Structure 1
Amino acid sequence: MNKYFLLTCFFCLSLLAVSAQDKKGILEEHKSTLIERLQQERTVFGNAETATGEGEGTRPGVPVKTGQKVTANGYRVQIYSGTNRSDAYAAQAKFKHIYKDLNTYLGYEQPNYRVKVGDFTNRSHAQALMNQLKKSFNSVFIFTETVNLEY
């Protein structure tokens, strides 16, 4: 009895699936106004970043500043990691001498000091800076972390 019941259920479900595939439907696209607005703001921000030339060129990823401060997920470039504190401060000073407009962050996780630079929301900007820094610093890496942004 159970076999016939299961077989009947399977057959009915198969017919439903086949009949659902035969119907021709109309595809409707629903666009969220919020997503459109976010895309427009992103486009405007991207254009403002490159309009002055500060986002491109010799100092990649430096945004135009308007005074609003926020935090977001992003990228930083590590330029030093080691146990010597004075070497960490020297690497930080060397970087600040070259890039006065980018932030530097010195951190300590026992037993290492780490110097990370920049606040990038775009990995390609962090990669461009990393490529430039390879000439001046020995071991350069990109890290994903919470960054400070000023718009």
Structure 2
Amino acid sequence: MILLSRRSLLAIAAVVDIALHARPAPVAAKVLAQRHNLPPRHLETVLQALVRVGILKGVRGPRGGYELAKERRRITAGDVVRAAMSVTGEDGLPPLPESQLVDEVVGPVVKSAGEAFLGELDGITIEDLCNRAESMTGPDAGTDGALDFAI
């Protein structure tokens, strides 16, 4: 069971992909979207949120794209998930039930579990994920049967 939203998973994958491919030139959103079989516009809101919080840096121009704004060992999966969560508005969701049970029992337990989950993600750096990706081989390594790295 995966507890992260698709947007959060996509954000982590995008940051790891950029960390692996952004040398010598930034990674274009279009190329990133192609590697993950997504429409480019689907990624833009996530990438812009990552730029706003200082995880990614946007580079303008014909050879522009995205690169890490700081060292990959200084970015955690928790940082990336928090940035991705900031993009999702809860405007379309129904209101929470107003009850003592939610306010005093269920809410605090769920909040505590969420904080513990993010705390675990804070212990995983983009460096850790890059090292894991770089060590992978075989048919399950990437979407096309093998990881394609240009480091």
Same fold (TM over 0.5): no
Higher share of residues assigned strand: 1
Q: What range is the shorter-chain TM-score in?
A: under 0.3
Q: Which has the larger radius of gyration?
A: 1
Task: Tell me the TM-score normalised to structure 1 length.
Answer: 0.26
TM-score scaled by structure 2? 0.26
Task: Answer 1 or 2: which has greater helix percent.
Answer: 2
